[in-house]
Amino acid sequence: MDYLKNMIRSQGRVIGTDVLKVDSFLNHQVDPHLMEGIGREFATRFAGEKITKVLTIESSGIAPALFTGLFLDVPVVFAKKTASRNLDEDTFQAPVYSFTRGGEYIIRVSKRYLHADDRILFIDDFLAQGRALVGLLDIANQAGASVAGAGIVIEKGFQDGGKRIREMGIRVESLAIITSMSEEESRIQFSGDAG
Amino acid sequence: MDYLKNMIRSQGRVIGTDVLKVDSFLNHQVDPHLMEGIGREFATRFAGEKITKVLTIESSGIAPALFTGLFLDVPVVFAKKTASRNLDEDTFQAPVYSFTRGGEYIIRVSKRYLHADDRILFIDDFLAQGRALVGLLDIANQAGASVAGAGIVIEKGFQDGGKRIREMGIRVESLAIITSMSEEESRIQFSGDAG
């Protein structure tokens, strides 16, 4: 995914030591063609895994998850972060601590849409500390579903979420792994970079 | 969009007199192929309108908006409902009252992603009272952008939002307009139905 890395390099804005803003193409303004390419890539990497459902969290995970579901030909379920009278009362729930929001929230998935015979692929835009992924894993476990792995658009390789999730035996496929980044000139280094 | 109407009839659950749950294919579990068809239909209906940007609100609007942007070959921007340190401080803002959430929230769009030379197409999953659409219109007006219209997946034709928005001179294209619905047997009638 050199195209993705080039977009991160050219449009990403680094703030401080750990915030990377990619809201021009990923999580506020969205480039639909990039999302299509990302979905196709995840579907290719997890082909043969007999996935029955893609699971993500609203809102930034929806775009890459949607195209992944399209190419895998399976439904996409997005966990909800807010209570609503439109959501079923009978839900799987898990707490997630968010550093960007500065607090804990509850993610919820209706029990209608996850079952013990499901084989799940998680999709998310970012993997940093891995809190969201642990929450999704908790929900999959509650449903008794099996987990094929996680497709991540951007992994902050300098934080420990990826390591922690992989040590749990979960296959993680990240399209761009950032090994270091600096606010000066928004300098960003990826895993696999030559220099 | 007979396919959409059939899905609403077969899978929609009516609760009370005004809640229609379509969370098996539209706003919790999502059918990516249906979303692709919806996006293609909106792109066809608004072809020739020289749209430069699709604007929606997280989270349920993202899926239909994303495919509309794909087929119109333009970026998709989703207004945020929650404050986050990932969002720019310099935003257009508008208040929206939500009946499903039972309160008012603020939608925000970074000023980086809407400009006076933009021509905007709004996309949303539902149109009922029209509050969300009025909020998006407010934000488009703040940006000085022009508005091509609104593409709505399901309009509750028995509520007055559609009438109000059309009276403001906005073109509204709704793929399914419900004229009446009843909790008994989840009976749903559409505009254009014979009986």
For the cut 70, the answer to whether the pLDDT of residue B194 exceeds it is no
Which of A62, A101, A112 is the best residue to mutate to test the B interface, defined by the most B CB atoms within 10 Å of its own CB?
Answer: A62
What is the pLDDT at residue B86?
73
Q: What are A's interface residues with B at a Cβ cutoff of 8 A?
A: 19, 21, 23-25, 27-33, 35-36, 58-59, 62-63, 66-67, 69-70, 73, 75-78, 80, 82, 84-88, 100-102, 109-110, 112-113
What is the pLDDT at residue A195?
43
Lowest-confidence pick of A34-48, A180-194, B31-45, B140-154: A180-194
Domain membership of residue B64 (yes or no) is: yes
Distance (Å, rounded) from C-alpha B124 to C-alpha A1? 31
Domain membership of residue B174 (yes or no) is: no
Three-state secondary structure call for residue B189: strand
Instruction: Quote the strand ranges of A16-118, DSSP E.
Output: 19-21, 29-30, 53-57, 76-79, 91-98, 103-110
- Structure-model confidence comparison of residues B16 and B118, the more confident one: B118
Residues β-bridged to residue A47 = none
Domain membership of residue A83 (yes or no) is: yes
CATH number of the structural domain spanning residue A153: 3.40.50.2020
What is the pTM for the complete model shown? 0.96
ipTM (interface pTM): 0.96
- Structure-model confidence comparison of residues A36 and B1, the more confident one: A36
Q: What is the mean pLDDT of residues B93-118?
A: 92
- The per-residue pLDDT for range A179-194, each reduced to its tens digit, is 999 998 778 999 987 5
Number of domains present in the structure of chain A: 1
Distance (Å, rounded) from C-alpha A64 to C-alpha A47? 16
CB contact under 8 A, A66 and B69: no
Distance (Å, rounded) from C-alpha A147 to C-alpha A137? 8
Domain membership of residue A145 (yes or no) is: yes
Angle between helices A62-72 and B32-45 (to 10 degrees): 110
Domain membership of residue B122 (yes or no) is: yes
Three-state secondary structure call for residue B181: strand
Range of the domain at B142: 2-148+181-190
Q: What is the mean pLDDT of residues A38-55?
A: 98
Q: What are B's interface residues with A at a Cβ cutoff of 8 A?
A: 19, 21, 23-25, 27-33, 35-36, 58-59, 62-63, 66-67, 69-70, 73, 75-78, 80, 82, 84-88, 100-102, 109-110, 112-113
Residue with tokens 């992603």: B113
Distance (Å, rounded) from C-alpha B124 to C-alpha B156? 13
Domain membership of residue A195 (yes or no) is: no
Contact list, A19 vs chain B (CB under 8 Å): 85-86
Domain membership of residue A165 (yes or no) is: yes
DSSP string, B116-140: TT-EEEEEEEEESS-HHHHHHHHHH
| Confidence band for B195, pLDDT divided at 50, 70 and 90 | very low
Enter the tokens of residue A174: 């990240």
Per-residue burial over A30-61, b = 16 or more CB atoms within 10 Å of its CB, e = otherwise: bbbebbbbbbebbbebbeebebbbbbbbbbbb
Domain membership of residue A18 (yes or no) is: yes
